[in-house]
Amino acid sequence: MSNDNAKLTLGPVLFNWQAETWRDFYFRIADEADVDVVYVGEAVCSKRAPFHAPYVADVVERLMDGGKEVVLSTLALIMSSREMEELRATAEGADGMLVEANDVAACALLAGKPHVVGPFVNVYNEGTLRYFAERGATRVCLPVELRRDAIHAMAGTKAADIEVFAFGRLPLAISARCYHARHHGLHKDSCQFVCDKDPDGLELDTLDNEAFLTVNGVQTMSYTYQTLAAELAEMRDMGVTHFRLSPHTCDMVAVAKVFRDVLNGKTDVEGADDALAGLVGDAPFSNGYYHGAKGVEFVTE
């Protein structure tokens, strides 16, 4: 099965960027990036959302004017009635836009309406995929740790469009505790928003001084950047319809161009990996989960 209409998507910004930086990033994406779908909204920590709120309407308008489909992302961990009310307000005020559910509470709230299920919801098999599709999910971004045979099986159901996390530090876990605040000797309730000091996350080392993971507020991420540029053709043949790029401080317009050129056959895999390495810098790549290896590994076949 060939999917010639595969789309590039840009996931929500997972890091705590300054509000004006966040706004200007999306403005540039709207004007310059060759992506089809852009996710906008806070998925990690509800305390960050008020800083971006004054700019959301302008960002959405600019993206739509730039020909992008906009999806409103929601929190991956809902822990209070206030956060539930904010979710409800997002769902009710979507004004025709799809909402991405990243928590099962959001899935329940959006049931019966077209929506997207994000990578933070544990959709690990065909039965779960069909369950959410029957309740209105038109697209599911699969969890990042799935291997190729699981992706193939779920794409084969055709129950919903399948999206795969194709570039960026992998979101591995989310917690009620804020590791960033703890690192700086602060409590979560008085964190002083110190996660904004690390716009691509706070890199962690093991006791042997080996790079290990990345902390992003309450979120744990990979140290490596996953790139599935080499796997795009195979996934497209499986029936995967959307490929997600996760925002980082590197030139995401250029990253999108690399992936678009691979999809269009204008760049070979080796050239794509070289170009991405030049954009990302020192952080290594990984694709191990896809190949059924350790997630940190980078498999070449």
DSSP state of 201: -
Can you give the pLDDT at residue 1?
34
DSSP state of 185: T
C-alpha to C-alpha distance for 67 and 266, rounded to whole angstroms:
23
Q: What is the pTM of this model?
A: 0.95
DSSP state of 102: -
The string of pLDDT tens digits covering residues 12-31 is: 999 999 999 999 999 999 99
Can you give the pLDDT at residue 2?
42
> Which segments in the chain show pLDDT lower than 70?
1-4
End-to-end CA distance of the chain, in Å?
A: 22
Can you give the pLDDT at residue 3?
52
The residue extents of the domains of the chain are: 7-171+222-286
Q: Is 187 exposed, middle or buried (0-12, 13-18, 19+ CB in 10 A)?
A: exposed
Please give the CATH topology (third level) of the domain spanning 7-171+222-286: TIM Barrel (3.20.20)
